[in-house]
A = this chain, B = another copy of it.
Amino acid sequence: MSLVKPSIPKGTRDFSTIEMAKRNYIFNTIKDVYALYGFQQIETPAMENLSTLMGKYGEEGDKLLFKILNSGNFMNGVAEDDLADGGTNRLAAKLCEKGLRYDLTVPFARYVTMHRDEIPFPFKRYQIQPVWRADRPQKGRYREFFQCDADVVGSDSLLNEVELIQIIDEVFHRFGIRVAIKMNNRKILSGMAEIIGAPELLVDITVAIDKLDKIGLENVNAELREKGLGEEALARLQPILLLEGSNEAKLQTLKEVLATSETGLKGIGELSYILSKVNGLRARLDVDLTLARGLNYYTGAIFEVKALDTEMGSITGGGRYDNLTGVFGMPGVSGVGISFGADRIFDVLNTLDLYPADALLSTQVLFVTFGQAELDYALPLANALRLAGIRTEVYPEAGAKMKKQMSYANQKNIPWVAVIGGDEMAAGEVSLKNMITGEQTKVKAGELASKIQ
C-alpha cells in the first residue's frame, strides 16, 4: 500500500454535515407531502442489467451510462474481432452486463413490470435516489445526483394531475419559495400542429413563442417564415402568438383557434378541468404554451416550476405519459409524474436564505469540563438530558483546554454550553452559557432540561 493523495472522481461530491442537514430538510419536506397524498416509497438497486437500460435514453444516453466491468475473468467471451473494434459499444457489451441507473423512470418501469401482481393499482409511488451519468461535469451538473420522483400509474383520471399540482404547491409553500407553476398540454401542441399543417415545425414554434418578450412579434414571425412556415399557417398562428391575459382568457382564445382540432379541444378540456379543481393554491398557476419539455415522452399535461425571486431554470417538472412499461412487455400502463430538482432547490434555499434554523441545528448542549472528576460528574447529567430528548454531548477529553472545548461548540454551532468546574460540582450546579447571547447563569443540575427546553 503506497501513500495516495486522496481525491474523488470528477463530477462527484462529498456531502458534509451542513450539506446533509440541508439535503435532509429538503427530502424530508418532500417525503412528508408525498405521504400526505398517499404516495409510498420504493427503492431499486443502483445497478441494473444493461439490457434494461440500453436503448431507453437514445444513442447519446447509451454513451452516458456508467458500465460495470464483469467480475472474474471479464475477457471470457471477448473475441479477436470484438477487440479490433476498439473501445466500442460492442466490446463494452462483452465486458459489462450491468450499469448504474441513469434515471428513476426506467428502473420504475422495470419494477412495475416485475411486481405487477403484488402492486395495488393505481400505484402511487415515490422514489428518492441518486442517479449517475457520464456527462461532462460543469457548474451545477454532476455525475452523481439525486432525483426525487413521484408517479401515479394505472389511472387516467385527471384528479392525479390536480393532486400533483397541489403537492408542488404545498412543498414550495413549506420551503417558503414563491413559485409559478407553468402548465401546458401535449394535445394542445398537437392541435396547433394540426391547424397550421406543419407538425414538424412544432418545436420551432414553441421556441419562437418563448422569444416573443425579448425580440417582439415581427422578429418572431420573420424567424418562423425562415423556418419554412407558410403565410396561411402564420396567419392562423397569430392569435396564439398574441395569447395574453388570464388562464381563462387564454383557454377561450385557444378554443376558438383550435375549434377544428379534436385533439386540441381535448387538451383544452383537460387543462380547464385541472384549473377548475386545484384547491387553495398559493403558487401562481400559468397556462404556458412554450412549455414543450419532454415533447416526445409526454402525451397529456406538462408541468414546470420556476422560482419567482431568483434566477434559476426549472426547479420541478413533470407530465402525463402513455405506455410506461410497454418496452418490458406490459402494455397499457399510463401515468403521470413529477420530479423535484433537489440540487437546484438546494441552491435556491441557499440564495434566498430560507433554511429554518431548526433544520440545521444538531447538538443542543455541550458539557465542557475542567478535568476528569468534572467529566465524571457530567455523564449522568448528560444522560438525563438525552432521556428528555435533548441532543447532548460531553466533550470527551478530560482536561482539554477551555478554549479548545469552546471552539468545538462554536464549530458545531451548539447553542448551549454547560460548564462544570469545582464550584459547580460542589454546589450541584452547572454554569449554563447561551452561545448566541453570551449570557451565562448558574442552573441546578435537576433544572437543566427544563431550562433548555
Contacts and interface: CB of A to CB of B under 8 A. Distances in A.
A20 B24 CA distance: 17
A73 B46 contact: no
Given A48-B9, A120-B411, A411-B120, A14 B69 contact: no
Given A3-B327, A115-B14, A329-B3, A20 B41 contact: yes
A118 B96 CA distance: 39
Nearest to A329: B3
A333 to B, nearest CB: 13
Interface string A20-35: 1100100000000001
A422 interface: no
A62 B24 CA distance: 33
Nearest to A92: B69
Nearest to A387: B280
Interface string A312-340: 00000000000000011100000000000
A330 to B, nearest CB: 9
B397 A4 contact: no
Interface of A: 1, 3-9, 12-17, 20-21, 24, 35-38, 40-49, 51-52, 55-56, 63-64, 66-69, 71-76, 83, 86-87, 91-92, 95-98, 100, 110-111, 113-115, 118, 120-122, 124-125, 130, 132, 134, 143-144, 152, 155-157, 159-160, 162-163, 166, 277, 279-280, 327-329, 362-363, 366, 375-376, 379-380, 383, 386, 389, 391-394, 396-398, 408, 411-412
A43 B68 contact: no
B115 A16 contact: yes
Contact of A24 (B13, B41, B44, B162): B41
Contacts of A42: 14-17, 20
B379 A279 contact: yes
Given A95-B95, A120-B412, A157-B397, A4 B52 contact: yes
Contacts of A130: 46
A63 B100 CA distance: 19
A83 B100 CA distance: 26
Given A41-B17, A363-B38, A392-B37, A6 B379 contact: no
Contact of A397 (B46, B120, B155, B166): B155
A25 B97 CA distance: 34
Given A9-B97, A412-B120, A55 B1 contact: yes
Contact of A279 (B71, B383, B398): B383
Give the top 4 A-B pairs by smallest Cβ distance, nearest first: A38-B393, A12-B45, A120-B411, A73-B87
Contacts of A375: 159
Given A20-B41, A69-B95, A155-B396, 19 more contacts: A6-B328, A8-B114, A12-B45, A15-B43, A17-B42, A20-B43, A21-B41, A35-B391, A36-B389, A37-B392, A46-B130, A47-B132, A47-B143, A68-B68, A71-B134, A73-B86, A121-B408, A163-B396, A277-B376
B68 A66 contact: yes
Of A7, A69, A96, A120, chain B has the most CB atoms within 10 Å of the CB of A69
A393 B12 contact: no
30 contacts: A6-B328, A8-B48, A8-B52, A8-B110, A9-B49, A9-B97, A12-B47, A13-B45, A14-B42, A14-B44, A14-B114, A15-B42, A16-B118, A17-B40, A17-B41, A38-B362, A38-B366, A38-B393, A47-B144, A66-B71, A69-B69, A69-B96, A121-B408, A152-B396, A155-B397, A159-B398, A162-B379, A277-B376, A279-B380, A280-B383
Given A14-B42, A17-B40, A9 B47 contact: yes
